Structure 1
Amino acid sequence: MAPAMPKGPLGGSFAWRSDAFQNYDSWALQVAPEDIAEIESAATATKAAGLDIRQITRDHFPLPGFTSRLAQLRQRILSELGFGYVRGLPVERWDAEFRMRVYWGISRHIGDPVPQNRNGHLIGHVIDIGTSVNDANKRITQTNAELSFHVDSCDVVALLCLATSKSGGESAIVSGVAVHDEMMRTRPDLCAALYGPIPMDRRGEVPAGGKGWYEMPLFNWCCNSFTGFAPVRLYVESVHRFPDAPPLTPLLSEALDLFYELCADPRFCLMIPFKPGDIQYIHNHVVFHARTAYIDHPAPAPKRHLMRLWLSAADGRELPDTLLAKWPVVERGKLRGGAVIAPDREWVVPLEPETPAY
């Protein structure tokens, strides 16, 4: 049976193009001095109360004047545009532990953190730790290599910028809905192909009893709603190290080529001037993200460093069961998404990057 598909292009507010958001300062949520005072007061109170970062809930992090603006931001992320930015946090004046309290506390107003890897890390460090891009059992986020357009295994991914690189490392986002609609208009046969299963490499994140690869559609249509799951292109290519993984058909290869080409097309691709103190929130089901390769400043200058949270939205959209090939839970109202952690691990918040990446 052919997978379910919409009858035509989807349109709507999620189907934006890059030219609508060129003036970054006009649409990013800029924090004011009074917002920063509230944020610092809330973070200080959690520390004074002896709360471990993992224990901090939204109620523990009240922001009387800032909460309504965060609620509007959350609405844009989940129901209107699929992304939102907080800008201007003074990260340089906070130590590592306090930064995490701030980042965690603000983000609890957006969603609920879930683990990002089998070691149970609730905050990830996106930084080049020397991992080889050719190590097929490791993700490539902790290298300085290019990352093609992709999604993470959560409702909303958050990235806080602490330091930028000497060159490169530009962040980009794209509306998966706009790319889908363009494919449906121009090559409906290739669009349809992406509604079928695509083999993908788990890159070492293998659940108990599972294989090193899995299959999942890039486009999904469930409950009258679109859900995208874009893999890093390298993870589709490296899956063929497994002899039992199905080969890509010529049609599927052509469809993937067109998909990644359109994602990078300036009509759709929005380049973001990430700066220290920015938080990027992305609704993974409709917006895909990427970064260019980069070169760090020579020591002792800090390396490019982002901190990542994976967030579950209890009131998020209904999701297709096809995501269960990668997600532990997809049910709406549950803590969903994230990684299956090793049985001997607990959920942790590493203050600094760890080596190895897992």
Structure 2
Amino acid sequence: MTLVQKQPDITYHPDFEKYQLRTERLKAQRNSNIGLPTAFPSKLSGPLVWEGSDFGEKTPWDFTLSKPQLEEIDSALAKFKELNKPIGFVSKETFPLPNLSHDLRKQAQVLANGRGFFVLRGLDVDRYSREDNIIIYAGVSSYIGSVRGRQDSKKIDGERKSSMLNHIKDLSQTSVAGNIGAPAYTTDKQVFHTDAGDIVSLFCLNTAVQGGASKLASSWRVYNELAKTRPDLIRTLSEDWAFDGYGNVEKPYTTRPLLHHTPAHGNVPEHVIIQYARRGFTGFLHLPRSKDIPPITEAQAEALDALHFLAEKFSLTLDFQKGDIQYVNNLSLFHARDGFVDAPGQERHLIRLWLRDPELAWETPEPLKERWDELYGDVTAEEQVFPIEPRIRGGAGRT
């Protein structure tokens, strides 16, 4: 008799009690002699390894724009609008910031080689139209990552059109509510995860009445804890997982590891990269995990919970204010947000860019190259679309 493997009892919202019970249940099956995969580091070091408690009351990540810098941004906005070109043509050349650019490039170094994040503060979003805010966002961000990533892409009349901007906003009270398959479009909490790409950026157009706190955690600190206490989970994370294709007939699912190790070679330093989003393995709301693809294993379920609860333990909560732009190294940090409450006229609304800085970019692991090419490969100014109003992007909702 052949036993059919079933999906473990795991949901999008981590349950600490279930996690503990699963860990205890699997303990008897675990080989205590299993060590780290070959050549994987026993401990990572450097400024990317941190805990929220390390910072105390200090906020070294805040970069507040001065009056001259804000005036320079206004000047760049005016110069770009004089060109009468679509937003896809925003670049360092068309949005000139001759002085601020030096400070922004220093912050880009912090992303790649420092703590891995910073917050740009001081923009008054109410002074600008929605379109102008997006132009400013794209223009300033071009100095952090000159290549923008596709967040959705399709062909219209034979021409590729790619959405480079995504709105993070509650749509659960709108006509598309029945299609939502990602917490980004609800008031629900988002558990720790990564997005796709090198750098994830969020621009706060408005905050909620209550809640919605933004949280970050060092995935390198999480790695160190697992390497020390549960090397078997490092091995589990470094093996292939089945990623849901969400109804893709040609590719019902793809496989790759969640954890990638790049040994030091030449001028390339050693890196460990964890790329994952929990909902892809558990489903969320109206987009459940497909039933006709391999379920995750009990060990993988334990690993997912371990990532979340360790990230939560070592996390930092940011004071994310209206007008702030948050830039995060998506290769070394996890991010999350608390649930929130909106009210008419005060609805939490973020917009997001995925960026890549060719000058400082980390080497992309082989299993991620196909996905990275989908994001960043041969992006043209003409194909870029920047939606003014929120909509559910592909892969984040039922179609």
TM range (shorter): 0.7 to 0.9
Which range is displaced more, 51-60 or 214-223?
214-223
Residues 182, 279 of structure 2: 8 Å contact kept: no
Larger radius of gyration: 2
2:304 to 230, 241, 256: 256
Q: How far 1:270 sits from its partner (Å)?
A: 0.6
Tell me the residue number matched to 2:158.
Answer: none
Q: 1:284 to 1:131 in 2, by over 3 A?
A: farther
What are the equivalent positions in structure 2 for 1:35-114 lying under 5 Å apart? 35-111=69-145, 112-114=147-149
1:317 aligns with 2:317: no
SS at structure 1 position matched to 2:96 = coil
Indicate conservation of the 8 Å contact 1:202/1:235, yes or no: no
Residues 1-358 of structure 1: pairs in structure 2 closer than 5 A: 5-23=39-57, 25-111=59-145, 112-119=147-154, 120-130=162-172, 138-203=181-246, 206=248, 209-211=250-252, 213-224=253-264, 225-238=270-283, 241-265=289-313, 268-297=314-343, 299=344, 301-315=345-359, 316-324=361-369, 326-328=371-373, 335-336=376-377, 346-354=383-391, 356-358=392-394
What displacement does 1:36 show?
0.3
Is the 8 Å Cα contact of residues 214 and 326 (structure 1) preserved in structure 2?
A: no
CA distance in structure 1 between the partners assigned to 2:44 and 2:257 by the alignment: 18
Distance 1:22 1:113, change over 3 A: farther
Task: Determine the C-alpha separation between the residues in 2 that align with 1:242 and 1:50.
Answer: 45
In structure 1, list runs of 5 or more residues that go unmatched.
339-344
Task: Check 1:240–1:91 CA distance in 2 against 1; reply closer, same or farther (3 A cut).
Answer: closer
In 2, distance between residues paired with 1:53 and 1:328? 22
CA RMSD across the alignment: 2.7
Give the secondary-structure state (helix, strand or coil) at the position aligned to 2:300: helix
- On the 8 A contact 2:166/2:353 being kept in 1, the answer is yes
Contact between 2:120 and 2:325, CA under 8 Å: does it hold in 1? yes
Q: Any idea what the Cα deviations from partners look like across 1:19-64, whole Å, max 9, x if unmatched?
A: 2334464431110111100001101110012132111111222222
Residues 154 and 337 of structure 1 are in contact (CA less than 8 Å); yes or no, is this contact kept in structure 2? no
- Residues 241/29 of structure 1: CA separation in 2 closer, same or farther (3 Å cut): closer
Shift of 1:253: 2.1
Q: Aligned residues, how many? A: 339
TM superposition score normalised by structure 1: 0.86
Structure 2 length-normalised TM: 0.78
- In the TM superposition, residue 137 of structure 1 has moved relative to its aligned partner by 7.2
**1:22–1:95 CA distance, 2 compared to 1 (3 A):** farther
Partner SS state of residue 242, structure 2: strand
Q: Does the 8 Å CA contact 2:149/2:356 hold for their aligned counterparts?
A: yes
Unaligned runs of 5+ in 2: 1-35, 155-161, 265-269, 395-399
Percent of aligned pairs with the same amino acid: 30
Matched residue of 1:290: which SS? strand
